[in-house]
Amino acid sequence: MLLLLLLLSGVTYAQAPTYTNSVGMEFIRIDTGRMIVGRFQPPYPVPDDTVRGMTRPMVMWMGDGRPYSAKEFALARSMAERDAMPGFEVVISKPFYIARFEVTQEVWQRVMGTNPSVFQGGEIGDTSQHPVENVTWEDVQEFLRLLNQVENTTRYRLPTEFEWEYAARAGAEGDIPWSETQRVAQLGGKTTRPVGQKEPNAWGLYDMLGNVWEWVDDFYNEKIFADPVPPATGKLHVLKGASFVGDVKNATWFTHAGGPGNGWDVGFRVVMEIEEE
Amino acid sequence: MKRILSTLGRSILHIQLALSILTGCTTKQHNEDEQRRTPIFNGRNLDGWHISRTSHQGTTGNFYVEDGAIVLKQHPYGQGGVLLTDRKYANFELYVEVKIDSFCNGGIFLRSTESGQAYQVELAVPGANADLFGERMEISIPGKATAIGSVWKPDDWNSFRIRMEGAVPRITLWVNDVQMWDVQQPKNDFIAGATEGMIGFQSHWSAQYLPTPGGFNMPGAWRPDGAHRFRNIRIRELD
């Protein structure tokens, strides 16, 4: 009876774990929760040739195997401790839907009637399932306006940086293990790749890392990580997730970058708000 | 014996004369070259330059001007970065004086993209100093500065003159007026086919944000509080 009521009230789709809209975009429901954002505890070398907190030996590039001096060890430690930050708690208080994939060239074409992507057709072949790229944050706003119009709603928007990071981490507290980066992140190669070719994250989202940088809604604060409250104004917007020309160093959910990026490796994914339940 | 000395004396005089003519020519040529180059760093602030906000080396490096030179340091600990010109250049001759701390890995980026893919002249002592590499891209033919040891002034200013020309680029490097290498690439190695880009200076990352399973750190890539410095940066655009 309850199910029937929900069906009749038209709310069911907003509670389902997945949803596909009229232009073929698939969404996954993300539930509420908490996470610590902006924790910075850089590993530093210690005299026994390892790095604090690490099990692998550090990679030394000190030419001819020159070791750190006692003074350098002490300086590294004091600088790392000086710059360390505990981070802050972020509460995701409203559930939301986020697209399973980056917006593809096919979806952009369907909504906008154009395809601005640098990597399309030609020698690469059919790129309809590659992410759209070469789109500015403002271009994306126009896409969202038209998508909302097509779907007769106002619920589509870019994710906030915290929504994006919460979805990308999928429950992870620490940084991504590099073995996992290799499995889930679309890195390497000379072009974008079709979406969804690597493994999804724990919540079923593809290409949160690699392939293309993804615009989020927030202005960029020109700091290594976000502030608890994003700037109200700014010149640039935040980019998350790194692109196929990134590497294991920055293809992590923590990386907090800013536009404009290279253009040809900058795209986005969409959030669909859930109506009050 | 006296005769020998006299002959030797004349020879030395001739050598000195020849040297002075050569030096004179070199200086004259040098001054003319200098006049054709436009400064791209004003010696006072970073107007005309910006930090890459998408480089994997870092996005918040401590880049500032001191005593008429651009200084690159990491910030925060372990995070380097790339400083880029606002303008892009296609064919050019770049002149820059460089002073680098040892055990700090950096480089001069040529035709860099915004996130720092570039042909790179390596700056690293000890290391592959003044070699030509690709940064975040494979290049067809590297350059090897085998003679760098004979001209390099450690812990001092060294002049770099770099000529880059052609959609399929030919790149030539002189350090302290001595040619190190002259490399004609067989193809344009940029992944999106760029034939122009920014001039950049790099400070390498050395630590991750947090200890990461399976990851490694590179404390040897940039010694704590180390710096690279750049001054008298001039460019002559070629037709």
A69 interfaces chain B, CB cutoff of 8 Å? no
For chain A positions 189-228, those within 8 Å of chain B (CB to CB) are: 190-191, 213, 220, 222-224
Ranges of residues in chain B with a pLDDT under 50 are 1-25
- Between chains, do B217 and A51 touch, taking CB under 8 Å as contact? yes
Residues of A in contact with B102 (CB under 8 A): 63
Pairing state of beta strands A271-273 and B38-39? Answer: unpaired
Pairing state of beta strands B158-165 and B92-100? Answer: antiparallel
CA distances in angstroms from A248 to A120, A137, B11, listed in the order given: 26, 25, 63
Residues A207-265: tens digit of each pLDDT:
999 999 999 999 999 999 999 999 999 999 999 999 999 999 999 999 999 999 999 99
* Burial class of residue A46 in the structure, from the number of CB atoms within 10 Å of its CB (0-12 exposed, 13-18 middle, 19+ buried): middle
A187 interfaces chain B, CB cutoff of 8 Å? no
Report the C-alpha gap between A213 and B33 in whole angstroms.
42
CA distances in angstroms from A72 to A23, A80, A253, B204, listed in the order given: 58, 12, 31, 17
pLDDT at res. A4: 43
What integer best gives the mean pLDDT of chain A? Answer: 91
Report the C-alpha gap between B89 and B235 in whole angstroms.
9
Mention every residue, 6+ apart, whose C-beta is less than 8 A from residue A2. Answer: none
- Between chains, do B212 and A174 touch, taking CB under 8 Å as contact? yes
The shortest CB-CB distance from A239 to any of B54, B58, B223 is to B54
Ranges of residues in chain A with a pLDDT under 70 are 1-15, 48-66, 276-277
Residues of B in contact with A174 (CB under 8 A): 210, 212-213
- Work out the angle at residue B48's Cα, subtended by the Cα atoms of residues B45 and B50, and round it to the nearest 5 degrees: 90
CA distances in angstroms from B201 to A179, B110, B119, B121, B219, listed in the order given: 31, 9, 12, 10, 20
pLDDT at res. A56: 58
Other CB atoms within 10 Å distance of the CB of residue A274? 19
Give the H/E segment covering residue B149.
helix B148-151
pLDDT at res. A60: 55
Residues A60-76: tens digit of each pLDDT:
555 555 677 889 989 99
The ipTM is 0.91
Shortest Cα distance, chain A CAs vs residue B157, angstroms? 21
Both structure tokens of B123: 């700056």
Residues of A in contact with B57 (CB under 8 A): 249
Both structure tokens of A72: 């350098």
Report the C-alpha gap between A121 and A125 in whole angstroms.
5
pTM of the predicted structure, to 2 decimals: 0.90
**Which of B63, B73, B77, B205 is most worth mutating to test chain A (most A CB atoms within 10 A of its CB)?**
B77
